[in-house]
Structure 1
Amino acid sequence: MVFVLAPLLLLLLSGSSPVVRAADHGDGYYTTVATSSLKPNAIVCLGHRVTPPANRSWVPVDLAHGPCSSSLDAAAPSVTELLHRDQLRADDVQKRLSNNGTDNNEAPGQAPTSESDAYGKAKIKVRYGSRKPSMSTQADSELSVVHPAATTGSGGAGALLPGVVQTVVLDTASDVAWVQCVPCPIPPCHPQQDSFYDPTNSGSYAAFPCNSPACTQLGPYANGCVNGQCQYRVTYPDGSSTSGTYSSDLLTLNPTSSVNNFQFGCSHADQGSFDPQAAGIMALGGGPESLASQTSSTYGKVFSYCLPPSPSYLGFFILGDARVASSRYAVTPLLRDPRAPATFYRVLLRAIVVAGKKLDVPATAFAAGAVMDSRTAITRLPPTAYRALRAAFMTSMRMYRTAPPKGILDTCYDFTGVRSVRLPKITLVFDRDAAVQLDPSGVLYNDCLAFAANKNDAMPGIIGNVQQQTIEVVYDVAGGAVAFRRNAC
């Protein structure tokens, strides 16, 4: 997919140029939202606010611990714990970037790390493996269609049905996909909502031999050889890990879209804290092991997602071209640096506009670029940019009572008794004038300004998933671009 936009069209996303009209502080630069809309509806899943784009690989996205989630009985962690884990995640992403893909502190053979906790993150349901028609059940009806592609494998000849549902977390900053596999005793494996994937029940499962190209390609994620089968291991900052057999099987996205011989980690041992709502991770990074890379010949190394504004709604994930008018997108190029890990998708943030006024931040403050990450929640900014944003936001919000900080969030408000809030519109302006106005749900997190500062301006920023809410984010990896479409879900 290739995006071609004139610079003027890019600004259609915000309705007008935020820079040209910077002196105007009228109501056009504010939005009033009900305070109740800033909280999830704890009872009812409201589905999709916007009809998702028609696409054969479309999959619904839900957020953990809400009425649209697959499991409502799992206790959500506290805001303090969520923010703590989010900081671990951000620290790790920045560590890997600052080391240019290497980490001299890692033990030999230990893979680069990524924060293990999946609480509050975007999840999709897919199916791993295949079954003979005689093994189907009425509960499988939503995907009980024969896949002609799954007609061969260790299970013998004949048409096969999709395997077991597995809930996996979308992760744009990791490369190795994995799910828990039988045998997987608890502990060391973690409980999960879905039935465990059992490779012995799949007619299309295969473990990679130790001398196979797929095993060699694992690089730092390789973990030796057991009974002639390739082993993998992924470790995390808090000491958690997942390990098992590197394998392939049929991956079914929906009744009309599947991936043959999908390569993933068949985890037989998890150590540490993992979310019981998820069976594993769907890696979407730029490395060769990710879903995007494995399916590049079919889907052009293009994928997109739209994260809903709260757990009360559904979003979507699409593998391949979204096939909508390119003029509806703001497009910015991906930053290319051969020294940086291929995993990350980096963009250049050039300016921030608050209530129609461009912040007075020198371009040098943004020079380190920013990583697009589906799992980091809070956007991290250079301190120079964050201080300017915080000051402008506080000026616009001076009519409301302030509240004590919450973890990394230092600009919080007490909306007790307040029925609606007048929020300043915030627009992130990326390279080539790609202006992206944030949804109100992307401005506040738990009644606090949903941004935080890095330790210094030299550190790369992170565009977190809170700011991405309701925006379709398209990763055109082959075309070297990231595109944004507002009000998509």
Structure 2
Amino acid sequence: MGSLLLLFVVLCSYCCYIAHGGNEHGFVVEQRRSYEPEAVCSASRVNLEPSSTTVSMPLVHRYGPCAPSQYSNVPTPSFSETLRHSRARTNYFMRQASKGMGMASTPDDAAVTFPTRLGGFVDSLEYVVTLGFGTPSVPLVLLMDTGSDVSWVQCTPCNSTRCYPQKDPLFDPSKSSTYAPIACHTDTCRKLAGNHYQNGCAGGGTQCGYSVEYADGSHSRGVYSNETLTLAPGVTVKGFHFGCGHDQRGPNDKYDGLLGLGGAPESLVVQTSSVYGGAFSYCLPALNSEAGFLALGAPPNANKSAFVFTPMRHLPGYATFYMVTMTGISVGGKPLDIPQSAFRGGMIIDSGTIGTELPETAYNAVEAALRKALAAYPMVPSEDFDTCYNFTGYSNVTVPRVAFTFRGGATIDLDVPNGILVKDCLAFRESGPDVGLGIIGNVNQRTLEVLYDAGRGIVGFRAGAC
């Protein structure tokens, strides 16, 4: 039976490790394979529940072979460089959240949230989707971000000194029959100003200007506009508000723009809430060579039994970020001795942060337990994470299971090993004192369908979705 199970997993999985035993003890023995993704794209692991109430789009890693073919030769930055960008984003989140929490004391049951502006480099984001803009529809590749609201693409006219080079042609609004700039002094433009994204009047004082400023000093500026957005064949969003960018600054890697999935009115999620109920989900694949998905709308009630749910939290006065309350962590099947008060600041769930940031007490307990479980393997110094290993020469690696528990009892098992290890390092960092906030990064989210249902005020998790 064990051999048959191993054969089944080998045939069905493209994971860089292969499970074959020890499950009842909270550990998984893995046959070690290369960490590098396969040379070709595989979507065979996508397990999206069929539904007539949702619309789904392929979601792929921006540097893997599943990315659109014209992007396959984009230079991949070093892992250290990618982490530096991710940490700039994280640090901004923490600084701004601390300011917000300092404005007034909030009990544990109160809503907790963050500021509305993205906290870091645009290219710290990892996953892209392809959507159609305009009529006729023009496919554009956008970075997906749950940590910002305004979606934008680079538009003509824009020369090389004002816009960065991209693989696709710049979006040309003059060739679309459904494009229209939003007028200045309209309610839509005034609401943009209320969320700190308005940039005065453009186009001779008649068009609404937008400006999105990022923590590293980069920005996107241009004309706030209406356009038809194509999500999937035959599925469109009429009058989608987005930024037609004429002035971009900062790091980039030749993609066409950004898709904002935050909770503020400017996001795609809120703009389509009358159709999809303010709900969306995604599954981040375990490897760069695999595909996941992004879906708008909640699954039908019949399919929700596959999810576990926990309440969604927000900070008063801020809407962008999605937060949950963690109550415990298990390693190797054993709950760690972490008081629930260590998590009272809340945890943001972010698609653009790589490693998970845990408050001090929780972080120390997790790192100690994982180091003990992996004591058979030599540790190596690294600038990227606190705990890294050299697995060279080991044909099998025994990896402990890690589980997160949230308010209401919802418990999720992280994928083994790709939801725990990244580049042979434990994907955890310390966020600061227990009174502060933490972040659940995208490594820990791999293979889970993460459902954000703002209408019902819940976050759901479904295992084995991709």
TM-score, normalised via structure 1 length? 0.84
Q: Select the residue among 232, 235, 241 that pairs with 1:263.
A: 241
Alignment deviations for residues 274-306 of structure 1 (CA, whole Å, 9 cap, x no partner): 121x21111111101101100111110010000
Counterpart in the other structure of 1:331: 309
Structure 2 unaligned spans of 5+: 1-21, 104-114
Cα offset, 1:102, TM superposition: 11
Q: Which amino acid is the alignment partner of residue 40 of structure 2?
A: V
Counterpart in the other structure of 2:283: 306
Query: Is 1:443 aligned to 2:420, yes or no?
Result: yes
SS at match of 2:171: coil
SS at match of 2:60: strand
SS at match of 1:442: coil
Q: Select the residue among 46, 49, 54 that pairs with 2:45.
A: 49
Counterpart in the other structure of 1:297: 274
User: Does the CA-based 8 Å contact 2:85-2:123 persist in structure 1?
Assistant: no
SS at match of 1:94: helix
My pick for the range that moved more, 190-199 or 436-445, is 190-199
Query: Is 1:414 aligned to 2:385, yes or no?
Result: no
Cα offset, 1:31, TM superposition: 1.4
Q: Following the alignment from structure 1 to structure 2, what is the Cα–Cα distance between the partners of residues 216 and 59?
A: 32
Q: Following the alignment from structure 1 to structure 2, what is the Cα–Cα distance between the partners of residues 379 and 196?
A: 35
Q: Which amino acid is the alignment partner of residue 424 of structure 1?
A: P
Q: Which amino acid is the alignment partner of residue 28 of structure 1?
A: H
Cα offset, 1:26, TM superposition: 7.1
Q: Select the residue among 231, 235, 240 that pairs with 1:253.
A: 231
User: Does the CA-based 8 Å contact 1:63-1:120 persist in structure 2?
Assistant: no
Counterpart in the other structure of 1:319: 296
Q: Following the alignment from structure 1 to structure 2, what is the Cα–Cα distance between the partners of residues 120 and 87?
A: 11
Cα offset, 1:83, TM superposition: 1.1
Cα offset, 1:221, TM superposition: 0.7
Query: Is 1:381 aligned to 2:379, yes or no?
Result: no
Cα offset, 1:122, TM superposition: 1.2
Q: Following the alignment from structure 2 to structure 1, what is the Cα–Cα distance between the partners of residues 190 and 319?
A: 17
User: Does the CA-based 8 Å contact 2:358-2:428 persist in structure 1?
Assistant: yes
Structure 1 unaligned spans of 5+: 1-24, 104-109, 132-162
User: Does the CA-based 8 Å contact 2:117-2:212 persist in structure 1?
Assistant: yes
Counterpart in the other structure of 1:365: 342
Query: Is 1:35 aligned to 2:13, yes or no?
Result: no
Alignment deviations for residues 452-484 of structure 1 (CA, whole Å, 9 cap, x no partner): 001222221001111111000000011000000
User: Does the CA-based 8 Å contact 2:89-2:124 persist in structure 1?
Assistant: no
TM-score, normalised via structure 2 length? 0.88
Q: Following the alignment from structure 2 to structure 1, what is the Cα–Cα distance between the partners of residues 314 and 92?
A: 20
Counterpart in the other structure of 1:426: 402
Q: Following the alignment from structure 1 to structure 2, what is the Cα–Cα distance between the partners of residues 364 and 111?
A: 27
Aligned pair in 2 of structure 1 residues 216, 296: CA closer, same or farther (>3 Å)?
A: same
Q: Following the alignment from structure 1 to structure 2, what is the Cα–Cα distance between the partners of residues 33 and 241?
A: 44
Q: Following the alignment from structure 1 to structure 2, what is the Cα–Cα distance between the partners of residues 99 and 266?
A: 32
Counterpart in the other structure of 2:7: none
**Structure 2 counterparts to residues 196-211 of structure 1, below 5 A:** 196-211=170-185
User: Does the CA-based 8 Å contact 1:296-1:302 persist in structure 2?
Assistant: yes
Cα offset, 1:101, TM superposition: 9.3
Cα offset, 1:186, TM superposition: 1.6
My pick for the range that moved more, 209-218 or 186-195, is 186-195
Counterpart in the other structure of 1:122: 127
Alignment deviations for residues 9-66 of structure 1 (CA, whole Å, 9 cap, x no partner): xxxxxxxxxxxxxxxx97531112333264312x111223134222451100000111
Counterpart in the other structure of 1:165: 139
SS at match of 1:433: coil
Alignment deviations for residues 242-286 of structure 1 (CA, whole Å, 9 cap, x no partner): 10000010000111311000000110111111121x211111111
Q: Select the residue among 161, 174, 178 that pairs with 2:148.
A: 174
**Structure 2 counterparts to residues 178-197 of structure 1, below 5 A:** 178-197=152-171
User: Does the CA-based 8 Å contact 1:46-1:313 persist in structure 2?
Assistant: yes
User: Does the CA-based 8 Å contact 2:46-2:291 persist in structure 1?
Assistant: no
Cα offset, 1:119, TM superposition: 4.9
Q: Which amino acid is the alignment partner of residue 400 of structure 2?
A: P
User: Does the CA-based 8 Å contact 2:91-2:119 persist in structure 1?
Assistant: no
Cα offset, 1:180, TM superposition: 0.7
Q: Which amino acid is the alignment partner of residue 74 of structure 1?
A: V
User: Does the CA-based 8 Å contact 2:60-2:129 persist in structure 1?
Assistant: yes
Counterpart in the other structure of 1:212: 186
